[in-house]
Structure 1
Amino acid sequence: MLSNRKILLCVSGGIAVYKAVALVSKLSQAGASVKVIMTESARQFVQPLSFQVMSRNDVFYDTFDEKDSSVIAHIDLADWADLVIVAPATANVIGKLANGIGDDMVTTTLLATTAPVWIAPAMNVHMYDHPAVKRNISRLHEDGVRFIEPSEGFLACGYVGKGRLEEPEKVAALVADFFQQSHKLKGKKVVVTAGPTRERIDPVRFLTNFSSGKMGYAMAQAAAEQGAETILISGPVSLPAPEGVTRIMVESAEDMLNAVMAQYDDADYVIKTAAVADYRPQTIHSQKMKKQEGASTIELERTVDILQHLGNEKKGQVLIGFAAETNNVAQYAKDKLARKNADYIIANDVTESEAGFNSDNNRVTIFGKNGLEQTFELLPKQELARRLLQVIIEQEENHDR
């Protein structure tokens, strides 16, 4: 299943290191070539020989111990890997990577690789919930790192809670699924819209909404990971462009409509996550409006409904819309699916404190034209995007058969 796949396992120090030995065994049995780098702390729990026996490869732990003088070891390993997994990942190594620190062989290799990086945290439940750790995880999510969520159970420290390293069998299955699904969109063009729009009132004021763009940027990154030519049409946000994605920045609803239509004819998938303004000021003042006594009224006019316009103009494109609702989520989503001639609507309740606008996590239900209805519980938006895209790809493959 993993024949000819090259996996680099970075092991940091924690009692869960013993599971990393089992993971190497599982991956090797599945046909992968596995190489291991250990931190100094990891070697306090398990000797390098254990990993060497299971992988049948040299184990690396000293940046300055060059086993092959013809290459620089940490650069060679970074270039060699098809996938890099950090397991177990301590709070320490997560913090270093989030802040670009390279002070040992694990962290310098992680900074040098261009392969996908997966992190499997393992730590005390309170450490995992610490604001600094959550902040570092959030930053790594934005950088495109994928996390294998820890499971809940009895921890070595005596606590019961979230923090257990995921079981080796589950990690190996995720790796196999990743390579099986990889590049399913190669040769396809995916257009994603993201973020808010701004509708100007005068030179210093505008109407907008709370959209952060995080969900749309995650969908664009997931599409690029699957090999698609990905065009991201973004309203004003503070997020960096995902790797491998062409980003087009816009401001108003009209700007976004024009940018989408310029890409629409040869698009295979259009994923419309942007929170586009439904109304704009009828008059845009050329000078700053001065305050005056009493109330003031701004006349508004409708903007073009981009999703409905795309549905009306559809000629074989797979059209995916998002519905940010505050009540009757399923009812409104199903109505939107039919009324706007979409293929899928992904709906969520933006009033939830842990999900929705500005959050790093989301909880959604996807509705499909063929009766599909599947709910995803709270997940980081990066991981949720991958799973949503996988469902859509599978649905379209079944439709084509």
Structure 2
Amino acid sequence: MHAWPASEVPALPGKGRDLRIHDTATGGRVTLAPGPVARIYVCGITPYDATHMGHAATYNAFDLVQRVWLDTKRQVHYVQNVTDVDDPLLERALRDGVDWVGLAERETALFREDMTALRMLPPQHYVGAVEAIPGIVPLVERLRDSGAAYELDGDVYFSVEADPHFGQVSHYDTELMRHLSAERGGDPDRPGKKNPLDPMLWMAAREGEPSWDGGSLGRGRPGWHIECVAIALDHLGMGFDVQGGGSDLIFPHHEMGASHAQALTGEFPMAKAYVHAGMVALDGEKMSKSKGNLVFVSKLRRDGVDPAAIRLALLSHRYRDDWEWTDQILETAVERLDRWRAAVSRPDGPSADALVEELREALSDDLDTPTALAAVDRWAALQTAEGGSDDSAPGLVSRAVDALLGVAL
């Protein structure tokens, strides 16, 4: 599976700062100081509907992580998956009377278009769950053969008791875990499971549903969590720098994925930091496909909204915060974009060297984008009110805003 084209990231004078970011597993900030190559895995879409603002906010957060790393002169090895076979996708295809493969391909293509328009840096490896199945089957077999998994009526379940570190990503209590498992694709009430929280690794073939050769597992398809584990271990190995996604993935997805990987390898932790973006709401409820309360990136683009303004709307909120999308937020972003573009269109202006360092400091401080935007606002206001004599300043501001915030002026 191919990703989307990369936009050029301008080089800035000097060098950026190491990123201090909130780690869900420890509950506090950690300083990420990767080697020459920083490694990040971000969970991708289930392609049964178009990219909404909640998706965009999540991928924007991890795009910023990459930009901070690039500014420290590191390379970035970024991996993202596509859950291109899953119950929600199959249910939507059945509802709409369309082929599930065609639906997944269509929505994945639209996602690529949205990411390109928003100038999100693409992953080096963009991997669909279906294409990963040949690598998933041996992992499930290893877990089963080692006693970390067991069969139940042809299905294979992971035993959470097999990982002594289970629970150390979310730190949720058992009651909350059970509630979230039922709400987010698990089956805690299924009779015969060793532990209600045990997640499925391999689902035996069901009539009318797609299935693949699972070797000694029989025909079927993989569970949700093992897909990401197989892709991450294949391309990044254990102990990579950041596991990212929305906060709704903390449990069960990232908790279970960590346990799968740790049981497979005997190493801990799977990732050095678990980083989660907040949820975006509309009309008081979390924006989600199941509720249908969505603002689509593609719809805004069709309506003529500049993707740079959409990105500025996302940047106006701290990545970890839950917030609510409103028309006013977009209007404010459009006005800000106009001010910034007017400010950099002049042949000279106030020195921008200090602004570059302000942006670096704000972003290294747990991706503090509101502070970063305020710094550019101050420079633009000074440019409008007083101007300046530095003929390199407007160009430097344009390059810095592009390189660090992903906004093309």
- TM-score, normalising length from structure 1? 0.28
- TM-score, normalising length from structure 2? 0.28
Instruction: Answer 1 or 2: higher relative contact order, Cα 8 Å, separation at least 6.
Output: 2
Q: Larger % of helix: which?
A: 2
Q: Larger % of strand: which?
A: 1
Q: Computing the radius of gyration over CA atoms, which structure comes out larger, 1 or 2? A: 1
